[in-house]
Amino acid sequence: MYDENNIFAKIIRGEIPCEKIYEDEEVLFFNDINPIAKIHVLGIPKTPSTDFSDFILKNDPEKIAEFYKKINMIVEKLEIRDSGYKIITNSGDNGGQEVPHFHVHILGGEKINS
Ligand code: AMP
């Protein structure tokens, strides 16, 4: 079940600040507070979903595609398309997910080994 008090839900509601990269009605992209690469941006859809599977099951293909198109827009905005990057989403205990609101990590700016 979705926890309305997870930290990303609080960021979406503006209760906790973040370093915004891009925001519109549907999505928010912001810098990770504990970056593991020179560029470490988190991307979240604003609608509640706990993880990747929940996001896919709850949304129609158009909405899912829109989110992934926006990830690519951020890749372009960060100017890491040519140098390369990694997109990761952690899910559940075995996936090492800490925050139970679906998000992607965009890592770049240097060689990503993890
Ligand atoms: P995950 O392990 O995939 O759930 O990743 C959660 C990520 O959220 C970690 O990389 C954290 O550093 C990051 N994080 C936690 N709290 C905040 C916050 N207040 N602002 C930005 N990033 C955060």
Residue 114 has pLDDT above 90, yes or no: no
Ligand 1 pocket: which of 42, 88, 94, 107 to mutate (most atoms within 8 A of CB): 42
For the beta carbon of residue 34, count every other beta carbon within 10 angstroms. Answer: 6
Residue 85 pLDDT: 98
For the CA of 90, the closest atom of ligand 1 is 3
Nearest CA to ligand 1 atom 18: 33
Under the banding of pLDDT at 50, 70 and 90, the label for residue 48 is very high
The vertex-26 CA angle with 21 and 31, nearest 5°, equals 25
Q: Is 1 within a domain?
A: no
Mean pLDDT, residues 17-46 taken together? 98
Q: Is 46 within a domain?
A: yes
Instruction: Name the CA radius of gyration of the chain, rounded.
Output: 14
Conformation bin of residue 81: beta by default, left when phi > 0, alpha when psi is -120 to 50 = alpha
Residues with beta carbon inside 6 Å of ligand 1?
7, 16, 18, 32-34, 42, 90, 96-99
Residue 33 Cα to ligand 1 midpoint, Å, equals 6
> Domain holding 26: CATH number?
3.30.428.10
Residue 56 has pLDDT above 80, yes or no: yes
Give the range of the structural domain holding residue 27, as residue numbers without chain letter.
7-108
Residue 26 has pLDDT above 90, yes or no: yes
Q: Is 48 within a domain?
A: yes
Mean pLDDT, residues 9-30 taken together? 98
Residue 31 Cα to ligand 1 midpoint, Å, equals 9
Burial of 98 (C-beta count, 10 Å sphere; 0-12/13-18/19+): exposed
Q: Is 114 within a domain?
A: no
User: What is the model's pTM?
Assistant: 0.98
Q: Is 20 within a domain?
A: yes
**Strand, coil or helix: 23:** strand
d(CA 57, CA 79): 31
The total number of structural domains in the chain stands at: 1
Average pLDDT in the chain: 97
Instruction: Tell me the catalytic residues.
Output: 103
Mean pLDDT, residues 36-48 taken together? 98
